Amino acid sequence: MVNITLANINQEFMSLIPEHRLQIHKLMAEGTITDYALSVDRERLWTVIKADSEREVYEVLASLPLRKYMLPEVHELMFHNKMTASFPALSLN
């Protein structure tokens, strides 16, 4: 789990948001990032990253366009439970 403080928000930061969102969506589609949340004041992010080491987490963070505006705190989790949407089984008859 990564707690991220966003710092020095400026025009360059704002211009990087679309590229950043595309990268987040790509990482979520791959299953690397499982959760991603932004506080209402837009100063904090929380994300859960699947990785085998803290180094891998920092490599994922380094791939993000907003990385130079991010002050991350990495917390290793023992487990992470979440409710996922499920669809009823399809009947083929």
Q: Which residues, including other chains, have CB under 8 Å from residue 58's CB and lie 6 or more apart?
A: 72, 74
pTM for the structure as a whole: 0.80
User: Which residue type, as a one-letter code, is found at position 53?
Assistant: S
What the chain holds in terms of domains, given with CATH numbers, is 2-74 (3.30.70.1060)
| From 23-32, 58-67, 71-80, 84-93, the region with the lowest mean pLDDT | 84-93
Phi-psi group of 42: left, alpha or beta (phi > 0 → left; psi -120 to 50 → alpha; rest → beta): left
pLDDT score of 86: 63
26-58 pLDDT, tens digit each: 999 999 999 999 999 999 999 999 999 999 999
pLDDT score of 85: 65
Q: Are residues 61 and 2 in contact, defined by beta-carbon separation less than 8 angstroms?
A: yes
Q: Quote the strand ranges of 1-93, DSSP E.
A: 2-6, 33-38, 44-49, 70-74
Q: Which residues, including other chains, have CB under 8 Å from residue 19's CB and lie 6 or more apart?
A: 65
